[in-house]
Amino acid sequence: MKNEELFVTATLASWKQALLRLDQAFTACTDDDLEREVAPGKNRVRYLLGHLAAVHDRMLPLLDLGARSYAHLDIYIERADRSFDETATPAELRQAWSDVNARLSAGFATLQPEQWLEKHTSVSAEDFAKEPLRNRFSVLLSRTNHAWSHFGQIALLQKR
């Protein structure tokens, strides 16, 4: 493997590990379990499922890997848990989560290692010339960290 490929492969493994742990946690939850708060007065697992699905859905256009499909879930980013009427069912949230991650995985597979260093779509070419770290790779790292921070919270509900 070339050096660029080693850096990207390791980072994708770290992303996939976050998704695997979250998948296991969500699968272990019944729909009733999704209503549990990760701590008293804090987000429910259901909200975090919708939140993570929406954040990952937004990665598709941000990484220039295609259009997103779940813009109606942005309410799980823009509004606090329990502050809005939820129209998405648990089954729909689970499906969105699974679907967006599969689409991201398919998109990632089309990228050569060097393409991870290309700009993401919310930075202009002019700004990117000055700030070369505003690239796809940094988005991947940032979203991986985001996923792990919420995984840590959801893991509090698991039996030791």
Query: Which residues would be at the binding site for a second copy (CB under 8 A)?
Result: 1, 3-4, 6-11, 13-14, 17-18, 38-40, 42, 80, 113-114, 116-117, 132-133, 135, 137-138, 141-142, 144-146, 148-153, 155-156, 160
CB of 136 to a second copy, least distance (A): 10
Distances from the Cα of 64 to the Cαs of 10, 23, 85, 107, 135, in angstroms?
A: 22, 25, 31, 9, 11
Whole-angstrom distance, CA of residue 18 vs CA of residue 66: 22
Q: Which is nearer to a second copy, 4 or 99 (CB)?
A: 4
CB of 77 to a second copy, least distance (A): 15
Q: Which is nearer to a second copy, 92 or 157 (CB)?
A: 157
CB of 138 to a second copy, least distance (A): 5
Distances from the Cα of 104 to the Cαs of 1, 37, 44, 84, 142, in angstroms?
A: 23, 28, 25, 28, 15
CB of 12 to a second copy, least distance (A): 10
Q: Which is nearer to a second copy, 47 or 137 (CB)?
A: 137
Q: Which is nearer to a second copy, 54 or 88 (CB)?
A: 54
CB of 155 to a second copy, least distance (A): 7
Whole-angstrom distance, CA of residue 141 vs CA of residue 18: 11
Q: What residue type is assigned to position 160 of the chain?
A: R
Q: Which is nearer to a second copy, 71 or 131 (CB)?
A: 131
Whole-angstrom distance, CA of residue 9 vs CA of residue 116: 11
Q: Which of 12, 20, 14 is nearest to 116 (CA)?
A: 12
